[in-house]
């Protein structure tokens, strides 16, 4: 099956002349002339950007998503290709409406007009995995109905299998293979793609993100109508706004574009560091903006999560970067085991400085992202930095955010915008506020443990264990003293916190 899929990929690539697009990058022109000679019978009338976009559409969801990410990187791509790939964000050819209606009737067990007061058969958006139709519920609520593409699961499964095969070969044939952990990266990517095929899971993601930002003035998330949802169908509140890529239209509506770009950075860092739950598919096709400048999030199939350990590690590193404390960054990598323990911290620090120092205090438009990325790769290889698969989605999202920032406000200083937020977040995690927060979390566990000590003491005395009873009694007495000291410490800290708040209120 993988072999036939590989043949199909090669055939589609050749049919759309992707070999010519690649050959054009070779400066001598030899490869391009060779391509013309071998495929002399082929006629390629469409422009290269159109051919590339159509090839990615024909190849399927994984390739479309790759094109979506590339479309945000106008600093890396020629304008014609970037403009054409942008169509992959929400203009993938739709599947027939009668197929969509048949899927709805299969899910609901009744005719569509018995479920919805009205249903628009023409899709308003079509992506690689699903398409969206507008509808009205019986109570006149306007909704968006997302329907999964039929047979999409097997296509994704075959492509993931191919990626896994490529990853195995990379590990075996390339010296850098094991460090880059390609199989783990593919496994992580596969897991999120599988989740995207379950619209009930996407509905749950949407509901969670909405709850996280329910009172937010900068981000709106649609409400899910659970009674109408199923594995292949998701029904949510219809949202209104302008696609974020239409910057001129937003300006004509009076939206402050600079403020909008800054709000986007704030939303990203809030999701990552406050919640550890972030939208990991933030290409322009998934973001609307209201006339008041509020973001509207759409498409929740791919969401990223971070543990508290990951959040704290990342926050420490970001802050160290912002403060240009490269030694702290280097040491954090060693402590986390991301580089070998015998790594010279001073040498690693110098390498990090050489990559990061040239891009500080510069707006996005002046940062040569391609060169910076190349230097990062070289440094990673030099010091055997291990890829962290659990952070792959975060890195992908950062690429989207940085690309989106360039489109909205090329003068945006990403570092200065993000630094105050991270400092506030770190302030809430450490010091008195952080301690009070952790004590509040741990207090219920301590409260349930303390009353158990007398029962445990009685059980130890009642069991005939000879000379070990004295040891058990000593251990229990020590534990009781420890718990008592902990409780007293909690009370003292809470009292100190209360006094500090009273002082701030009156002085």
Residues tagged active-site: 281
3-state secondary structure of 276: coil
Number of H helices, E strands in the chain: 23, 11
Rg of the chain over Cα atoms, rounded to whole angstroms, equals 28
What is the biggest distance separating any 2 CA atoms in the chain, rounded to whole angstroms?
A: 95
Kindly state the tokens that stand for 4: 């036939």
Euclidean distance between CA atoms 320 and 413, whole angstroms: 17
Which contacts qualify for 76-82: CB closer than 8 Å, 24 or more apart?
A: 76/369, 76/370, 78/49, 80/47, 80/48, 80/49, 81/48, 81/49, 81/52
Which residue(s) pair with 295 in the sheet? 219, 289
Euclidean distance between CA atoms 412 and 366, whole angstroms: 10
Contact 287, 244 (CB under 8 A): yes
Query: Which candidate, 90, 417, 368, 412, places its Cα nearest to that of 244?
Result: 90
Euclidean distance between CA atoms 201 and 121, whole angstroms: 25
* Cα 93–chain centre separation: 25
Euclidean distance between CA atoms 320 and 323, whole angstroms: 5
125: enclosing H helix or E strand: strand 125-126
Give the Cα-Cα-Cα angle 186, 191, 195 (nearest 5 degrees).
Answer: 145
Euclidean distance between CA atoms 53 and 42, whole angstroms: 19
């Amino acid at each position: 099956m993988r072999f036939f899929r590989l043949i199909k990929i090669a055939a589609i690539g050749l049919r759309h002349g992707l070999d010519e697009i690649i050959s054009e990058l070779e400066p001598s022109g030899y490869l391009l002339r060779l391509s013309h000679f071998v495929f002399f019978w082929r006629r390629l009338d469409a422009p290269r950007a159109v051919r590339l976009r159509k090839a990615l559409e024909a190849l399927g969801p994984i390739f479309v998503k790759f094109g979506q990410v590339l479309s945000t990187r106008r600093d890396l791509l020629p304008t014609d290709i970037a403009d054409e790939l942008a169509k992959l964000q929400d203009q993938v050819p739709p599947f027939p409406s009668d197929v969509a209606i048949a899927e709805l009737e299969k899910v609901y067990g009744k005719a569509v007009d018995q479920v919805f007061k009205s249903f628009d058969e023409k899709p308003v958006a079509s992506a690689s995995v699903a398409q969206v139709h507008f509808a009205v519920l019986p109570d006149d609520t306007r909704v968006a109905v997302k329907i999964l593409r039929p047979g999409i699961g097997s296509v994704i499964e075959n492509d993931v299998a191919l990626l896994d095969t490529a990853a195995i070969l990379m590990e075996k044939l390339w010296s850098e293979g094991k460090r880059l952990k390609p199989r783990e990266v593919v496994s992580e990517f596969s897991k999120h793609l599988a989740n995207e095929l379950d619209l009930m899971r996407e509905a749950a993601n949407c509901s969670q993100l909405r709850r996280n930002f329910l009172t937010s003035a900068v981000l709106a998330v649609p409400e899910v109508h659970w009674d109408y949802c199923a594995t292949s169908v998701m029904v949510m509140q219809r949202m209104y706004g302008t696609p974020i890529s239409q910057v001129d239209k937003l300006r004509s509506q009076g939206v402050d574009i600079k403020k909008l770009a800054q709000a986007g950075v704030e939303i990203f860092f809030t999701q990552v560091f406050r919640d550890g739950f972030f939208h990991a598919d933030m290409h322009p096709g998934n973001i609307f903006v209201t006339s008041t400048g509020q973001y509207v999030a759409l498409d929740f199939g791919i969401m990223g999560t971070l543990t508290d350990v990951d959040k704290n590690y990342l926050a420490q590193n970001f802050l160290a970067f912002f403060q240009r404390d490269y030694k702290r960054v280097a040491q954090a990598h060693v402590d986390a085991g991301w580089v070998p323990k015998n790594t010279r911290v001073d040498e690693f620090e110098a390498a990090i400085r050489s990559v990061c120092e040239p891009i500080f205090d510069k707006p996005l438009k002046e940062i040569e992202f391609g060169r910076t990325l190349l230097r990062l790769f070289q440094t990673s290889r030099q010091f055997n930095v291990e890829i962290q698969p659990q952070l792959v989605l975060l890195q992908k999202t950062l690429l989207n955010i940085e690309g989106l920032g360039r489109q909205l406000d090329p003068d945006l200083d990403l570092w200065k915008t993000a630094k105050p937020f991270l400092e506030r977040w770190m302030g809430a995690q450490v010091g008195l506020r952080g301690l009070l927060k952790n004590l509040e979390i741990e207090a219920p566990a301590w409260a349930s443990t303390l009353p158990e000590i007398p029962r445990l003491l009685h059980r130890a005395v009642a069991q005939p264990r000879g000379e070990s009873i004295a040891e058990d009694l000593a251990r229990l007495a020590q534990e009781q003293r420890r718990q008592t000291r902990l409780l007293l410490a909690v009370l003292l800290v809470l009292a100190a916190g209360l006094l500090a708040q009273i002082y701030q209120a009156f002085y």
